[in-house]
Structure 1
Amino acid sequence: MSKDEDDEYEQQAILEQVFGHSSSSDSSFDSDSDNCYSKWERIEKVKGLWIVRNFLSSHKQSRLLSSIASENWFTQPSINQSMRFGYQNLPRWAINLSDSICQSCSSSPSPFLQNLSMRYPFFDQMITNVYQPGEGICPHVDLLKFEDGIAIVSLESSCVMDFTLGDETVPVLLEPGSLVMMYGEARYVWKHEINRKDAGFQSWKGQLLDQTTRTSITLRKLCSSPPSI
């Protein structure tokens, strides 16, 4: 190996330690199948709600969590959320993750998701949340200052996210490595929440979930102009 090649190898190793990937073109967080089309699943009862249940392998989840940890955002128990606004302010790993989601949307069976993949930047705002066992989120619709098409990547513990419209509730299991995309009615009409009313415990199909810390990454795009009210 030449000195130049050795220097390049060393630089790549450093990047992997810091960002969890070797360069901006690296595909560390790409989905784990060349055929993303077959992995998208429509949640039939909620129009515009799509999920890829195995978007990231266990190995890629670990690398992503290491990248998040390297940011030193959550140094105290009281700090459980970090926001970044502006494409230029997103960490490199978040841009790679965004590119991977965009690629998957362009291959999806939904024409809505395919249309989303044409915008640039695909996302320019990110929230990273760390939920301790028993913590949830109240029912809400994301603010109108964000465009249609919102992605949620789940890491570590599984949880049940409820989508509600009037008296109807549709539970969706979010497993580690899963990707959810909310579009249209799922984004603007249905509320979503993580319900913790029953002593903090959640179950799925009659089985109690063994829940520990959960990390989620929500990616959105700011509207280019203020939304009309």
Structure 2
Amino acid sequence: MSNTSADLPPGGFYLPSFISSEEEAGLVSHIDAGEWSMELKRRVQHFGYHYDYRARTITSDAYLGPLPGWLRHLNERLVAKGLFASAPDQVIANEYQPRQGISAHVDCVPCFDDTIVSLSLLSQCEMVFRERRGGAKLTVVLEPCSAVVMTGAARYEWTHEIPARKSDGIDGIKVHRARRVSLTFRKVV
């Protein structure tokens, strides 16, 4: 399976090797030094704003403070590459152990701007996109150090998910998952 923008819904882009393995190790070190929340079936950390999963919203009292310095260089890169008009101000770190995933969803429309960027760290996995009206399905393998960008139809008209399983079938080969961490960058509206 090739990872190209053609494999994604319109407005979706795959950026292989968006960061180096050295940057990946530094990010994981910073994340693991932080405090994990167990509010979900997987561990999460919020930066900038806390997203309320139950209410599915962000309120003004959810502001946690500016993003830590170790995330700012990635923000600058996202803006410099034209992926965001201004720096994202909300980041979620999600940890996925084998057999953990995230159900099909569209990131909160009234909460976040038009661009969502998810950076994959440590282990590959398959992300599944499903057209909300029409039923089409597309998959992309997210390699470590890669980023997937969702704008336009990919952001609003397709759900995305990480199926909860311990392996993925990639190019006809069963690939076991290991610990994976993602950083999702968003701009609060």
TM bucket, shorter chain: 0.7 to 0.9
Q: Does 1:188 align with 2:129?
A: no
Runs (4+) of structure 1 exceeding 2 A deviation are 40-45, 86-89
Cα deviation for residue 179 of structure 1 reads: 0.8
Question: What SS does the corresponding residue of 1:212 show, helix, strand or coil?
Answer: coil
Pick from 55, 80, 95 the counterpart of residue 130 of structure 1. Answer: 95
Give a deviation string over 1:117-169, Cα, whole Å, max 9, x none: xx33x201110011111101111001011010110000011000000113211
Q: Does 1:54 align with 2:17?
A: yes
CA contact (8 A) 2:42 2:96 kept: no
TM-score of the superposed pair, with normalisation by structure 2 = 0.81
Matched to 1:169, the amino acid is: K
Change (3 A) 1:194 1:79: closer
Question: What SS does the corresponding residue of 1:154 show, helix, strand or coil?
Answer: strand
* 2:72 match: 95
Matched to 1:140, the amino acid is: H
Higher helix fraction (1 or 2)? 1
Cα deviation for residue 89 of structure 1 reads: 2.5
Q: Does 1:81 align with 2:44?
A: yes
Measure, in 2, the Cα distance between the counterparts of 1:203 and 1:74: 30
Matches within 5 A, 1:23-34: none
When structure 1 is superposed on structure 2, of 56-65 and 155-164 the one drifting more is 56-65
* 1:220 match: 186
Matched to 1:218, the amino acid is: T
* 1:31 match: none
Cα deviation for residue 75 of structure 1 reads: 8.4
* 1:21 match: none
* 1:156 match: 122
CA contact (8 A) 1:46 1:186 kept: yes
Matched to 1:131, the amino acid is: Y
Matched to 1:161, the amino acid is: M
**Where in structure 2 are there 5+ consecutive unaligned residues?**
50-62
Cα deviation for residue 201 of structure 1 reads: 2.7
Measure, in 2, the Cα distance between the counterparts of 1:47 and 1:136: 24
Matched to 2:138, the amino acid is: V
TM-score of the superposed pair, with normalisation by structure 1 = 0.68
Matches within 5 A, 1:96-111: 96-104=73-81, 106=82
Give a deviation string over 1:14-56, Cα, whole Å, max 9, x none: xxxxxxxxxxxxxxxxxxxxxxxxxx95235510001111111
Q: Does 1:204 align with 2:170?
A: yes
Measure, in 2, the Cα distance between the counterparts of 1:139 and 1:133: 18
Measure, in 2, the Cα distance between the counterparts of 1:41 and 1:208: 21
Count of residues in Structure 1 that have an aligned counterpart in Structure 2: 169
When structure 1 is superposed on structure 2, of 85-94 and 183-192 the one drifting more is 85-94
Q: Which has the larger radius of gyration?
A: 1
Measure, in 1, the Cα distance between the counterparts of 2:159 and 2:29: 31
User: Taking every aligned residue pair, what percent have the same amino acid on both sides?
Assistant: 33
Give the superposed CA RMSD: 2.3
Relative CO higher for 1 or 2, CA cutoff 8 Å, sep ≥ 6?
Answer: 2
